[in-house]
Structure 1
């Protein structure tokens, strides 16, 4: 679903590749710093992120990412007005395989509050799988897409020179994937046929058709981001 992918992924990955090359350069460590905090932007939304040193070449990260976006969904018979909400709270471990290098490999979990809500209110007769429905039959139709698990897993590679650079400011970039499980779609209607299970079944099929692309996108959400931090 390209309309939801506001972030220029190609540009972000290019930045990540350049950063990985730069990571071969050694820096004098900033031993006095205990914690780094900053902001980032990426496919998971706009976020804040903290990072702390745990052991040699091992760091912990904690953050919050958020994005809200409105978009029309018209792949099915009903024209939905969709609202995408991305909300994740990741907890990650970063391992730097090379001493004094910003290159890292990461794994972790995240609270997954990503969802899509969509509303359709037809003003003319709609045909769903061979059956005609007047506006009063359907009324207002609401669909909600949620992911299969509230706890999602994340793997990524990236670059982060916090605690490594001589400067208090640091740069970070990341590319990976978050697996959210199988999506669930629930549909309800307020019209005269709202209690007819056959009608609800047709509405579910139509909603799945409209939300199919975003459903696949959110199941394996690409994690691509760039950001900056300040060492304290």
Structure 2
């Protein structure tokens, strides 16, 4: 597998189709324990700033580029990542594959209303998926109970919508308790699937402006732009000198 090192994070250089067909679907077929991280500039900067988060990311099996900034950053460093792989699109493809193959899924994260509505919509849309468990990410949850559910119900796919950095930290802890399942952090995808947040129109996505659409619709995301500026600064610094850890 080809990789591109960005700020000490090894990003897989692959298309979504190839990633799914050649890597993830076979691992699902053979029930291999897998952890996928979808990395945008915010994620990469967080690994630079947060040692615990960096350790969680380092335990992932595959890190893919979820952000045009990561794709362009790789090119600035002389690497080549063929395309952005949006976490939401990847989740959709995995759900469709699970439906075709009658796989089981587990969902953790979001508010109670969001996850309930999402599960209802998914159940209507994907009749062949077995939802073996779900919990919101706001109430106090017995983590021992969660671990027990994962061990006994043995889901094929575990979707975690806690946002950065919580979801990768959660996955690092819980994947160590099981021996199968594909874990993936999906950020705010639960809100979109529940119909609470509208995704950017296709034209915005094709123009790589989905991030701008989100900022316009959710001004609270403006604070995240600071991560983008820091990411650009660190990319330039890596290009001309080694980037030390904080």
TM range (shorter): under 0.3
CA radius of gyration, larger in = 1
Larger helix proportion, structure 1 or 2?
A: 2
TM-score, length basis structure 2: 0.21
TM-score, length basis structure 1: 0.22
Larger strand proportion, structure 1 or 2?
A: 1
